[in-house]
Amino acid sequence: MAAELEYESVLCVKPDVSVYRIPPRASNRGYRASDWKLDQPDWTGRLRITSKGKIAYIKLEDKVSGELFAQAPVEQYPGIAVETVTDSSRYFVIRIQDGTGRSAFIGIGFTDRGDAFDFNVSLQDHFKWVKQETEISKESQEMDNRPKLDLGFKEGQTIKLSIGNITTKKGGASKPRTAGAGGLSLLPPPPGGKVTIPPPSSVAISNHVTPPPIPKSNHGSSDADILLDLDSPAPVTTPAPAPVSASNDLWGDFSTASSSVPNQAPQPSNWVQF
């Protein structure tokens, strides 16, 4: 059945070939084309090489009608079916066979040396392919004969995967980050649970200096007015302070002037009595 499915392919076609009757081989040294009547070929026609499966066929056909004159099946090359002569590269000896099993050896030759080269290469390429196919089929048979490895689960078999305890690059366990508002991840608090608040800038300190407490004086308001006239600095344009009680209005300018100088030490309380 497999032989019926194989198709025949054409490997080489040469339009001009000569056929010679050759004398029997005199010794084991090989055939010589000089022993043939090269100027008087016994038949001329067309040569066609075909292949069907692993066997190649050399067919000698009529140039006009295509009628088959002789056929030489080739099962191995180089081999007994095709031999080269010892004194030329343009002549070969082939073994032809008929349907009854009879065979004979004849000589063939090409006028052009390139045609002889193509004839030789076509047979070589075909049997290279046959060798590769044989090796591939042998390897496939060896693979089929090997015991197959069953990696499937048996009935009732289960596996357990442990995904937790993923370690970081330093070898410590990774700590989850808490998600804040909007899905942003927040860093965990530092060790100890205490958060250090950075001190305010110097500008903020100078604009928010709390004036020192002012002791109540036993003297009258006339002494305070004299002190304000002598030592009050030039007025500084500042935002209007919030309204205070009447007892602190007399020291409003003094406390405003002291707030504009961040590095000035507070005035002693005994300076008022002088």
Is 264:212 a contact under the CB 8 Å cutoff? Answer: no
For 43, other C-beta atoms within 10 Å of its C-beta total 15
Stretch 180-207: mean pLDDT, rounded? 57
* Max Cα–Cα distance, the chain, nearest Å: 162
Res 148: pLDDT: 73
- Give per-residue burial for 75-87: e unless 16+ CB within 10 Å, then b: eebeeebbbbbee
* pLDDT tier at 192, thresholds 50, 70, 90: low
Q: pLDDT above 90 covers what percent of the chain?
A: 34
Tell me the residue range of the domain where 91 lies.
Answer: 8-133
59 or 101: whose pLDDT is higher?
59
In a domain, 253, yes or no: no
In this predicted structure, the answer to whether residue 135 has a pLDDT above a threshold of 70 is yes
pTM exceeds 0.85: no
In a domain, 155, yes or no: no
Res 216: pLDDT: 52
In a domain, 267, yes or no: no
In a domain, 259, yes or no: no
Residue 55 to residues 22, 131, 145: CA-CA distances in angstroms? 25, 12, 28
pLDDT tens for residues 194-236?
556 666 554 444 455 555 555 554 544 445 454 444 454 555 5
* pLDDT tier at 104, thresholds 50, 70, 90: very high
Res 227: pLDDT: 45
CATH number, domain of 80, equals: 2.30.29.30
In this predicted structure, the answer to whether residue 46 has a pLDDT above a threshold of 60 is yes
Res 55: pLDDT: 93
In a domain, 88, yes or no: yes
In a domain, 103, yes or no: yes
Structural domains in the chain (count): 1
In a domain, 45, yes or no: yes
Picking from 94, 110, 85, 73, the residue whose alpha carbon sits closest to that of residue 35 is: 85
Res 219: pLDDT: 47
Res 198: pLDDT: 60
Question: Where is average pLDDT lowest: 15-24, 195-204, 258-267?
Answer: 258-267
In this predicted structure, the answer to whether residue 255 has a pLDDT above a threshold of 90 is no
Q: For residue 42, what are the contacts with CB-CB under 8 A and spacing of at least 6? A: 19, 20, 21
In a domain, 256, yes or no: no
32 or 148: whose pLDDT is higher?
32
DSSP state of 48: E
In this predicted structure, the answer to whether residue 48 has a pLDDT above a threshold of 80 is yes
Res 139: pLDDT: 84
Stretch 15-28: mean pLDDT, rounded? 87
Q: For residue 165, what are the contacts with CB-CB under 8 A and spacing of at least 6? A: 173
Picking from 108, 111, 7, the residue whose alpha carbon sits closest to that of residue 61 is: 108
The rounded distance, in Å, linking the Cα atoms of 178 and 200 is 29
250 or 188: whose pLDDT is higher?
188
Q: For residue 38, what are the contacts with CB-CB under 8 A and spacing of at least 6? A: 20, 109
Res 60: pLDDT: 95
243 or 87: whose pLDDT is higher?
87
Stretch 117-133: mean pLDDT, rounded? 94
Instruction: Assign 201 to helix, strand or coil.
Output: coil
